[in-house]
Amino acid sequence: MIQIRKFWKEILAGALLLANIFIWQIIAGETRNGLLSVSFFEVGTGSAIFIEGPGGIKVLVDGNGGKKVLTELGKLMPFYDRSLDVVIVIKSDGRESQVLSRYEVLLPITPVDKENVGQRVQLGNGAMLTIESATPFLAKLTYGKTSLELSGNYPIEIDKKFYNPNFAGTVTVRMDGIGGTNDENGKNELLVLVESRDKTSMLDNTKLEALLANVAESVLDERSKSANCHVLGPLPDPECTPGAIFPNATIAEICVSGYSKRVRNVSTSLKKRVYAQYGIQYPQKTGTYETDHLIPLAIGGNNDIANLFPEAAEPKPGFKEKDVVEVFLQQEVCAGRADLATAQKQIATDWLAVYEVLTPEQISAIRTKYSNWSN
C-alpha cells in the first residue's frame, strides 16, 4: 500500500497511456480507408465467407460451421468486437446458433430462401452484396469495377490474374486515391491484393497456360468404336472414349459445391458395358480399377459411355494421379485462368500431359486438401 501511494502518479500515468493506446487501436481498427476485405476459411463442409465493407459493415456468409467459424472470426475481428451486421446461413444445421449467441447480429438470414433473392446489403462507398439465388446459393459482391460471384463454397470469379478460389486467405479491394491507381483515362481502377494463409494452394499455372495454348481446337471427337477397345497406358482408346460433355453446363453451375454428386448417374449395367468393350471383367477388386469419367463431371463431363473407361490404379500414373489433374483443372477453370472448353479438350486428349507440368508441391497440396475427391 505504501509503494502504491508513493508511485501513484506514475501508475496513473501508465494507466492513462495504456487506455490511450487501446482507444487508438479501436479507432484504427474501425477506420477502413475505403477497403473492402473478403476472407475465406474452411469450416469442415465447405467455406465460410467474411466480408468487411468500406463502411465497416460486417457480413458472415454460411455461419453454420460451429466452433470453427468462431475460431476464424476471432482471428479476423478485434477481441472487443462482438457484433455482426448480417449473418447469412445457406443451409441450417443448428450450429449457426453458436455464432448467433456469441455475436450481436443486426440481420440474421437463417436460412436464406427464395424470398431473400434480390436482397441487397449496402457495405459503404458504393460496395454492395446482392443475393442472386437461394438454391444453389449465389451472391454478387460489387465494388467499383470489380465484382465477385460468391457461391456456397468459394467465389466463382474474381480478378483472374491473382486469385485461386480454393485458398484460405483474404482478398482486399482498394479504391483509387487510397493506394490504388488510375488508368490512362484517369478513371478509377481497383487493385486486388491477395494475402494467403495457405500458400500451398496458390498454384502457379504458367506451364498449364503454355500447354493449353497448344490445344488446336476445343471440339471433341465423335465415338467411332464400341468393341475391341484398348487402353494406351493410362489413357483410354480415343475411338471408344473420346470424351463427352453436358453442352449446357456453365461455370456458374459446375463451380458450386455438390455439383458432381448431383449430376452423377452411372448405373451398374452401364459400368458392365464399359468394361466389356475394353475386354476387362467386371467387377474388379476394390481399389484396382474405377469407372472413370474421362472429362470429369467437375468440369462439365457427362455420364455417356463415350466419356467412361475402366482406369487402373497401377502402374502409376493411374486413376489417383488423374484425380489430381481433375482437381487442378477445376481450380483453374473456376478461377477463370483456364478456358472451360479448352480444359475439357486437353484432359480428353492427354490428361497425363497436365500431370507432368505439376510440381511435387502442387500434387502434395491437392492430395492433402482433396483426399476424398470425387469427379
Residue 12: per-residue pLDDT: 56
Residue 14: per-residue pLDDT: 59
DSSP symbol at 245: B
Q: What is the pLDDT of residues 224-252, one digit of tens each?
A: 999 999 999 899 999 999 999 999 998 88
Give the C-alpha distances (Å, rounded to integers) separating 198 from 41, 142, 171, 271: 10, 25, 13, 38
Give the C-alpha distances (Å, rounded to integers) separating 359 from 49, 325, 354: 29, 12, 11
Residue 21: per-residue pLDDT: 44
SS3 assignment, position 219: coil
Alpha-carbon 137 to chain mean position = 14
Give the C-alpha distances (Å, rounded to integers) separating 23 from 60, 83, 108, 345: 26, 18, 29, 58
Give the chain's end-to-end CA distance (angstroms, integer).
72
321, containing H or E segment: helix 319-334
Q: Per-block average pLDDT, block size 10, for the chain (375 residues)?
A: 52 56 44 66 69 83 74 80 85 78 84 85 81 82 74 49 40 35 30 34 57 76 93 93 94 84 94 97 94 96 97 93 91 80 92 89 77 56
pTM of the predicted protein model: 0.51
How many CB atoms sit inside 10 A of residue 66's CB?
17
Q: What is the pLDDT of residues 268-298, one digit of tens each?
A: 999 999 999 999 999 999 999 999 999 999 9
Residue 174: per-residue pLDDT: 39
CB 83 within 8 A of CB 107: no
